Amino acid sequence: MGAEQQIWTEKYRPKDLSSIVGQKEIVARLKAFVREKNIPHMLFAGQAGIGKTTAALALARELFGEGWKDNFMETNASDDRGIDIVRKRIKDFARTRAMGGSFKIIFLDECDALTKDAQNALRRTMENYTSTCRFVLSCNYSSKIIPPLQSRCAIFRFKGLRPEDVSSYIERIAKGEKMKLDKDAKDGIIAASEGDLRKVTNILQAAGGAGSHVTKKSVLSILSKISKNEGKKIVQLAAGGRFLDARKELSKLMIEEGISGEEIIGSIHKAVLELDIDDRKRIELIEKVGEADFRMLEGANEVIQLEALLARIATLGGSK
C-alpha cells in the first residue's frame, strides 16, 4: 500500500464506533463495554474489509481518549507466524502497566495465520496478564483458531456488508473528493468489492486519478474486468459454430485489453448458464469450465485451456 493510498484509508476510516458501517449489533455491544470502562478478551471474526480493524481502533479511542496510542498495540500475525512473536513482542508489551488506565489492549490481526504452537503460547499469555492487558484477536476464519483460545474470548461475528452499506460508503468518499459517479459505475464497484470496503477505496482512488468523472468503462478498465455482454458474445459465437470468430474475440480480450484468463473463464461460466441449450449439454459444459479453471490454477497455459473450452462449447452448443 503506497503512502497516498494510506492517506485515503485513514481519511475515510471511522474514528468512533457509531460511524462503523453495517455492524449495528456489534457496535451496540462494544458501546456497552465502553460505558463500563472494561472489556473482556475478544475475538473478531469475519471476511476482510468489513470493519474488524476499524472496530478495534475505534474501541481503543473511545476507551482511552487522546492517549489511546500509549495503551494500544497493533500487530499482524501474518508478518510473523511463529511462537517468537508471542514470547517476545506481545509478552513484553503485556507485562507493563497501563498509562492512565487499568489495562492496555493488544490487537492481534489475522491471528488465524498463527501456528498452533504460537496459539497455545498466546493462551497462557492471555491468562497470565489479564490484570494489565486485554487481547482483541481478529481473523477471517474462526475455525483456524484453537478451541482453548476461542473459549477465553467473547466472540463477535462480523456480518457481510449489504449493497446499501457499501453504497453509502461510496457516496461519502465521492462527496469528500468531489467526484461525479455514474450509477452503473457505482453498481459495478459494489459488485466487484464483494463487501470489502478496502477494495472500494482502492477502486475509487484509482478511478479518481484518471479524472473526477467516474464511468462504468473506467471502473472496468481499473478492475481488468470484461462486461457481461463481451463474455456472452464469445460463448454465443462458439455455440453457433463460429469457433474462429470466438477465438479472435478471446485473443482481443487477452492480448489487446490484458484481461486475465481467470476473469474470462468466470464470465464464460455465467454466459454458459444463460445459453439456450438443453440441461444435459449445459451440465457437461459447466463441468468443462470447472476442469479448465482447475488446470489454469495448477499452472496450465491460459490461452490453450480457454481455446479448448471454446472448442468444447462449439461441439456441444447449438439451439434446443
> What is the C-alpha to C-alpha distance for residues 48 and 23, in angstroms, rounded to an integer?
14
Which range marks the domain in which residue 207 is found?
Answer: 163-223
Pairing of strands 133-139, 104-109: parallel
CB contact at 8 A, 25 and 158: no
- Residue tagged 484509482 (cell numbers): 206
pLDDT in tens, 185-219: 888 888 878 888 888 888 888 877 767 788 877 78
**Do 195 and 83 have their domain in common?**
no
CB contact at 8 A, 277 and 250: no
**Do 103 and 179 have their domain in common?**
no
**Do 109 and 17 have their domain in common?**
yes
Query: Which set of grid coordinates corresponds to residue 237?
Result: 459465437
Q: Give me the CATH number covering residue 311.
A: 1.20.272.10
Query: Which set of grid coordinates corresponds to residue 88?
Result: 517476545
Contacts of 180 (CB under 8 A, 6+ apart): 174, 212, 213, 214
Count of structural domains, the chain: 3
**Do 59 and 140 have their domain in common?**
yes
pLDDT in tens, 207-259: 777 677 888 777 877 776 676 678 888 888 888 888 999 999 898 888 877 78
**Do 240 and 293 have their domain in common?**
yes
pLDDT reading at 5 higher than 60: no
Residue 76 bridge partners (DSSP): 109
pLDDT in tens, 72-129: 988 876 666 556 666 777 777 877 777 777 889 989 888 888 888 888 888 888 888 8
Q: Give me the CATH number covering residue 76.
A: 3.40.50.300
pLDDT of residue 32: 93
Strands (E), 10-103: 42-45, 72-76
Give Dmax over CA atoms of the chain in angstroms.
76
**Do 234 and 204 have their domain in common?**
no
Query: Which set of grid coordinates corresponds to residue 170?
Result: 461510496
**Do 119 and 189 have their domain in common?**
no
Distances (CA, A) of 111 to 78, 141, 146, 153, 314: 7, 9, 11, 13, 48
CB contact at 8 A, 8 and 172: no
Query: Which set of grid coordinates corresponds to residue 303?
Result: 490461452
**Do 151 and 30 have their domain in common?**
yes
Q: Which of 157, 185, 201 is the last residue of a domain?
A: 157
CB contact at 8 A, 125 and 91: yes
